[in-house]
């Protein structure tokens, strides 16, 4: 099926996600909660694989990045200083007839897209999600769930510096939840009010910003195409026009992905200048070890939405062939790396041998075990969830310790030794 602006394709992906345990509607037995979703047993594996690969690539493999994991709720002064309380808002317009609410900047024309009614003039609606800490619900106890993970990297900057003795250029990375009271959430896990981000704040000297911006642009391309395996054709760069830049940014590139519902933002790369550190620190927080000069470093911020990564990966991998649906996930992302099948369920010696192989491989990988129905059906079931290999234990296995290993994409089978299975899988990771 061609991947065009295609509601039917999106419905198939959403349905597969629910049927196979990738993503469920949140609180479903209570009628759901608008646009909230839960990751099921396979979804959490896919999501964790993405997060782990990101952490490995950007934190563990680089000398110039370190990680933190900060609290979701921060002192409200953080949001005062960052400008979020004042400016983190979208224009909201309401239909005078059906009272549906819309983001005024996302609709064409002046009429209600749902009923054609007249719209009110738009007013700014702050996206910060409020709650109270402690038993008294008053202004003094009002706090906010963070709308981005970024601010903790600025607020903790001095502590990180003091404990790691890093010198610029270096970056702080974090993966975690963020919350926004979006006016119009939608398109499955694309826009929700609770979501996860993987963010890097990379601290530099002002004059380096152009060069470092390009370095991160390349890194982000590598991540999208080589690590996530997204098709280059489906990704486009948008140089965000000056009048649409976020309040902190001097230059932003959005990486847009061609989702089935249309092209929209996947990730962003922003030059945040020294805006944030200047807002949070009265004194320059950084001192050049050689010159003794104190100054406010500038910041380049590559930001990656976790849920949008999951969605892009699923859309890119979803493939319909003549008689099967295959999720052509990169093996490193697949929830299971291999599925083990005893040829027949009613032959205890085959089942015992299959369990032995299963237990051996589980020491290294997440492995599926399936002994139901015929082998063909078991293959299709694994193809649909993206398992790169299926391994069948048959009567020859009992004789000579060999198995058939079937490749998800080619459907070709080869006969290999049990002890070679692990190497075959690792070659693909
Ligand atoms: N710290 C910068 C920042 O937060 P952003 O463009 O507002 O920038 C960064 O958000 C990324 O977070 C987006 O590119 C997107 O992947 C993800 N994101 C933002 N809002 C989201 C939402 N409501 N639902 C899911 N993901 C979202």
Q: How confident is the model at residue 110 (pLDDT cuts 50, 70, 90)?
A: confident
175, 228, 248, 265: residue to mutate for ligand 1 pocket, most atoms within 8 A of CB: 265
From the CA of 263, how far away is ligand 1's center (Å)?
15
**CA pair distance 347, 345, nearest whole angstrom:** 6
Protein residue with least CA distance to atom 4, ligand 1: 148
Pairing mode of beta strands 367-369, 338-342: parallel
Which atom of ligand 1 is closest in space to residue 303's alpha carbon?
A: 9
pLDDT for 208-242, tens place per residue? 999 999 999 999 999 999 999 999 999 999 999 99
Verify cis geometry, omega within 30 degrees of 0, for the bond prior to 169: yes
Q: Six-digit token pair at 216?
A: 């991160």
From the CA of 195, how far away is ligand 1's center (Å)?
8
Burial class (CB in 10 A: 0-12, 13-18, 19+), 291: exposed
Which CATH code is given to the segment(s) 338-426? 3.40.50.800
Find all residues with CB under 8 Å of 332, minimum gap 6, and list them. Answer: 49, 53, 227, 428, 429
From the CA of 305, how far away is ligand 1's center (Å)?
6
Protein residue with least CA distance to atom 18, ligand 1: 305
From the CA of 197, how far away is ligand 1's center (Å)?
7
**Topology agreement, domain 7-73+147-316 and domain 338-426:** no
pLDDT of residue 233: 98
Q: Are 173 and 200 in contact (CB under 8 A)?
A: yes
Protein residue with least CA distance to atom 20, ligand 1: 191
Burial class (CB in 10 A: 0-12, 13-18, 19+), 336: buried
Q: Given a cut of 90, is residue 247 above it in pLDDT?
A: no
pLDDT for 273-314, tens place per residue? 999 999 999 999 999 999 999 999 999 999 999 999 999 999
pLDDT of residue 89: 85
Protein residue with least CA distance to atom 11, ligand 1: 305
Q: Where are the domains of the chain?
A: 7-73+147-316, 338-426
> What number of residues does the chain have?
429
- What rounded mean pLDDT belongs to the chain? 96
**Host H or E run for residue 307:** helix 306-317
Helix H, strand E, coil C: the string for 79-127 is: HHHHCHHHHCEEEEEEECCCCCEEEHHHCCCCECCCCCCEECCCEEEEC
pLDDT of residue 125: 87
From the CA of 22, how far away is ligand 1's center (Å)?
21
Q: Six-digit token pair at 278?
A: 């200047």
Which atom of ligand 1 is closest in space to residue 190's alpha carbon?
A: 25
pLDDT for 33-85, tens place per residue? 989 999 999 999 999 999 999 999 999 999 999 999 999 999 999 999 999 99
Protein residue with least CA distance to atom 24, ligand 1: 191
**CA pair distance 38, 17, nearest whole angstrom:** 11
pLDDT for 162-203, tens place per residue? 999 999 999 999 999 999 999 999 999 999 999 999 999 999
Q: What's the whole-number mean pLDDT along residues 90-118?
A: 89
Residue among 38, 55, 39, 59 nearest 47 (CA): 39
- What pTM does this model have? 0.95
Which atom of ligand 1 is closest in space to residue 182's alpha carbon?
A: 23
As for ligand 1, residues whose beta carbon falls within 6 Å of it are 148, 150, 180, 182, 191-192, 195, 197, 199, 265-268, 301, 303, 305, 307-308
What is the third-level CATH fold of 7-73+147-316? BirA Bifunctional Protein; domain 2 (3.30.930)
Q: What's the whole-number mean pLDDT along residues 243-268?
A: 95
From the CA of 204, how far away is ligand 1's center (Å)?
23
235, 303, 311: residue to mutate for ligand 1 pocket, most atoms within 8 A of CB: 303
pLDDT of residue 109: 80
Protein residue with least CA distance to atom 14, ligand 1: 267
From the CA of 377, how far away is ligand 1's center (Å)?
39
From the CA of 297, how far away is ligand 1's center (Å)?
24
pLDDT for 176-186, tens place per residue? 999 999 999 99
Q: What's the whole-number mean pLDDT along residues 398-403?
A: 98
Q: Given a cut of 80, is residue 2 above it in pLDDT?
A: no
From the CA of 180, how far away is ligand 1's center (Å)?
9
pLDDT of residue 219: 98
Q: Given a cut of 50, is residue 1 above it in pLDDT?
A: no
**CA pair distance 208, 227, nearest whole angstrom:** 27
50, 268, 311: residue to mutate for ligand 1 pocket, most atoms within 8 A of CB: 268
pLDDT of residue 280: 98
**CA pair distance 155, 133, nearest whole angstrom:** 20
The residue written with tokens 């299963």 in the block is 358
Q: Given a cut of 80, is residue 5 above it in pLDDT?
A: no
Protein residue with least CA distance to atom 3, ligand 1: 148
Protein residue with least CA distance to atom 7, ligand 1: 148
- Concatenated DSSP letters for 178-202? EE---SS-BTTTTB-SEEEEEEEEE
Which atom of ligand 1 is closest in space to residue 147's alpha carbon?
A: 4
């Amino acid at each position: 099926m061609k991947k065009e602006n295609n509601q039917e394709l999106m419905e198939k992906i959403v349905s597969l996600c629910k049927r196979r345990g990738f993503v469920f509607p949140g609180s479903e037995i209570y009628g759901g909660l608008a646009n909230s979703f839960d990751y099921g047993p396979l979804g959490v594996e896919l999501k964790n694989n993405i997060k782990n690969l990101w952490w490995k690539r950007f934190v563990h493999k680089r000398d110039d990045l370190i990680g933190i994991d900060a609290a979701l709720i921060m002192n409200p002064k953080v949001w005062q200083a960052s400008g979020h309380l004042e400016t983190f808002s979208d224009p909201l317009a309401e239909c005078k007839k059906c009272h549906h609410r819309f983001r005024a900047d996302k609709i064409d024309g002046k009429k209600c897209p749902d009923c054609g009614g007249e719209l009110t003039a738009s007013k700014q609606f702050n996206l910060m999600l409020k709650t109270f800490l402690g038993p008294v619900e008053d202004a003094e106890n009002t706090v906010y769930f963070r709308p981005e993970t970024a601010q903790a990297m600025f607020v903790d900057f001095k502590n990180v510096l003091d404990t790691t003795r890093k010198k610029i250029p270096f970056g702080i990375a974090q993966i975690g939840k963020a919350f926004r009271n979006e006016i119009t959430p939608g398109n499955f896990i694309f826009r929700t009010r609770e979501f996860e981000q993987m963010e890097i704040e990379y601290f530099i000297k002002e004059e380096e910003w152009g060069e470092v911006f390009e370095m991160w642009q390349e890194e982000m391309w590598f991540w999208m195409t080589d690590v996530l395996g997204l098709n280059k054709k489906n990704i486009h760069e948008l140089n965000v026009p000056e009048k649409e830049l976020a309040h902190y940014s001097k230059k932003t590139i959005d990486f847009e992905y061609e989702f089935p519902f249309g092209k929209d933002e996947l990730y962003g790369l922003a030059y945040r200048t020294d805006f944030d550190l200047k807002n949070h620190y009265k004194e320059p927080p950084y001192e050049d070890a050689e010159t003794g000069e104190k100054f406010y470093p500038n910041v380049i911020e590559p930001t990656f939405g976790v849920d949008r990564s999951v969605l892009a990966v699923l859309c890119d991998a979803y493939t319909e062939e003549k008689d099967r649906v295959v999720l052509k996930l990169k093996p490193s992302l697949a929830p299971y790396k291999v599925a083990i099948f005893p040829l027949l369920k009613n032959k205890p010696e085959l089942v015992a041998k299959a369990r032995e192989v299963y237990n051996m491989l589980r020491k290294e990988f997440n492995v599926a075990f399936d002994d139901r129905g015929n082998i063909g059906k078991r293959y299709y079931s694994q193809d649909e969830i993206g398992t790169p290999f299926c391994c069948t234990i048959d009567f020859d296995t009992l004789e000579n310790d060999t198995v058939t290993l079937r490749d998800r994409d080619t459907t070709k089978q080869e006969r290999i030794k049990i002890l070679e299975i692990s190497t075959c899988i690792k070659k693909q990771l």
